[in-house]
Amino acid sequence: MTEDVRTVEWAGDGLRLLDQTVLPGRVEHVVVRDVGGLVDAIRRLVVRGAPALGVAGAFGVAVALLQAEREGWDGAARDAAIARIREARPTAVNLAAGVDRAVPLVPKGVDAVVAEAQALLDEDVRGNRAIGAFGAHWIAARTPDRPLRVLTHCNAGALATAGWGTALGVVRELHGRGRVETVYVDETRPLLQGARLTAWELVRAGIPCLVQADGAAPGAILRGLVDVAVIGADRIAANGDTANKVGSLGVALACAAAGVPLVVAAPWSTVDLALPSGDGIPIEERAADEVLAWGGVRTAPDGAGAFNPAFDVTPARLVTALVTEAGALEVAKGETPGAARPTG
């Protein structure tokens, strides 16, 4: 089962990452033992997903400490290397939070940093299980009493976390209760995290799924083929505005038009209370080749440029519920993260 697949784990002298760039064709791991290698792995999406990035960031501090010791860095060089990890991807707040959690342990040495990072990993798995239970309960209480047709965008499963998953954790919990008919999996252009990763996880878990083009999602929702949409998040503002993989906003707009619940599933660490609204969420823009070429072959004509934001922001008014490990908030009704933490 996918929960046994570890995306991130400490290898004694480095960080062992499941290489998500080669899935589903191959299952391979990369061991990074230096800061440059970790930053590259984060930017190339070898490791991805906000919760997994948080864990990788915490362990990354240990990677930096070991490299500093090997190469005789002074404190300033070490701190600059840690900052490089922290800033490797700007939108996912968990990456910075994971680094920040481990940094106070630096004076105590590598073992203390590794122990704190492992604690974060374990907490993420436990939290994901709670998200799954809260989310399944919320959805089951508000949808028809039959197996449901669920839509999801991008990948927010075990591959995006330390284990089990957030949005897919909710789907897996529903499946365990006999409440899933099928899952519509948006392919998630341009890097196909849905088609490559989410579908891989669902097939391994024995959950029926249908991969569809991103552009098919609004039509499926408006045709009445979807009972609920469940997505993850990379950063959530205090008012409930939610940044997730680009294309999520189109799903949210279609759900609002059709009266279909849109559920955002994410750990509380993804909430950035320092940001009043989504206007302040930095949106990562990625390389042009991701949309101008495929498999190294250019598909757009020479002279064409590219607009390639990795994320979009869904306004809080379109978020029916935000589910964290602490419970559910009905954001569209005014239960915002900045007002109060959920109680269950």
Q: How far is CA 175 from CA 130, 145, 166, 171, in A?
A: 15, 13, 14, 6
Which residues 6+ apart lie within 8 Å of 284 measured at CB? 89, 90, 91, 309, 310, 311
Instruction: Report how far residue 129's alpha carbon sits from residue 133's, in angstroms, rounded to the nearest whole number.
Output: 6
Nearest to 214 by CA among 243, 238, 191, 247: 247
Please check whether residue 30 is in contact with residue 15, taking contact to mean a CB–CB distance below 8 angstroms.
no
> Count of CB atoms within 10 A of residue 116's CB?
21
Q: Is 227 a catalytic residue?
A: no
- DSSP classification of residue 165: B
Please check whether residue 261 is in contact with residue 228, taking contact to mean a CB–CB distance below 8 angstroms.
yes
Structure tokens at 212: 């569809």
> Count of CB atoms within 10 A of residue 123's CB?
17
Type and span of the H or E element at 31: strand 29-32
Paired residues of 311 in beta bridges: 245
Nearest to 320 by CA among 225, 224, 252: 252
Rg (CA), the chain: 19
Cis peptide bond prior to 261, omega within 30° of 0: no
Nearest to 312 by CA among 250, 265, 259: 250
Catalytic hit among 214, 234, 272, 312: 234
Instruction: Report how far residue 157's alpha carbon sits from residue 171's, in angstroms, rounded to the nearest whole number.
Output: 9
Q: Give the residue numbers marked as catalytic.
A: 234
